[in-house]
Amino acid sequence: MKIRPSLPEEAAVLTQIAHDAKRHWGYPENWIQHWQEDLTISSDFISNNLVYVGEHENMIVGFYALVVGGQQAELEHMWVAPAYIGTGVGKELFIHAMQTAAGDDVSQVGITADPNAEGFYKRMGARRIGEVSSEIDGQKRVLPRLTVETSS
């Protein structure tokens, strides 16, 4: 897999991958609609942040986005196209993301994870530091809050 910076004109493709990946966990469609804004990647977002895609046979199979603020960054997006989930794409993207962050003088990366993805992040070396509460459809939803120290 080749990892390269995303282009602003790829916004629609990345938005589709984010939606498809989120659906992988079997959430009801109205929840997906509720999260639509969070799952939408704009051209401006790509231009203004560190957004990288993983490409395999000329197809984008996953991407990540880091939003940097000083020595801290937020891993705001980490999505793998469903056909490639569990094939090592996420691991390669994650390692690349941490190298990108370190290269940008970021020492700590924060992640508010989907509960289903927490195991992945922990496997990648992230540490749980708390949780973020939200509510959807009258149901309480607790999201793990994680951090990773980069080698910067």
Ligand X SMILES: CC(C)(COP(=O)(O)OP(=O)(O)OC[C@H]1O[C@@H](n2cnc3c(N)ncnc32)[C@H](O)[C@@H]1OP(=O)(O)O)[C@@H](O)C(=O)NCCC(=O)NCCS
Interface with ligand X (CB under 6 A), residue from 45, 52, 63, 79: 79
Piece in contact with ligand X (CB under 6 A), picked from 2-10, 39-47, 115-123, 125-133: 115-123
Piece in contact with ligand X (CB under 6 A), picked from 31-39, 48-56, 83-91, 133-141: 83-91
Assess 91 for contact with ligand X (CB under 6 A).
yes
Our CB check for ligand X shows the closer of 82 and 105 to be 82
Assess 115 for contact with ligand X (CB under 6 A).
no
Assess 116 for contact with ligand X (CB under 6 A).
yes
CB 67, min distance to ligand X, A: 14
Among 34, 142, 16, 37, smallest CA distance to 79 is for 16
Please tell me the number of Cα atoms within 13 Å of 99 on its side-chain side.
Answer: 8
DSSP reduced 3-state for 6:
coil
> Strand pairing partners for 3?
54
Assess 123 for contact with ligand X (CB under 6 A).
yes
- Measured distance CA(57)–CA(64) in Å, rounded: 19
> Which residue has tokens 């895609």?
53
Our CB check for ligand X shows the closer of 11 and 18 to be 18
> Strand pairing partners for 67?
74
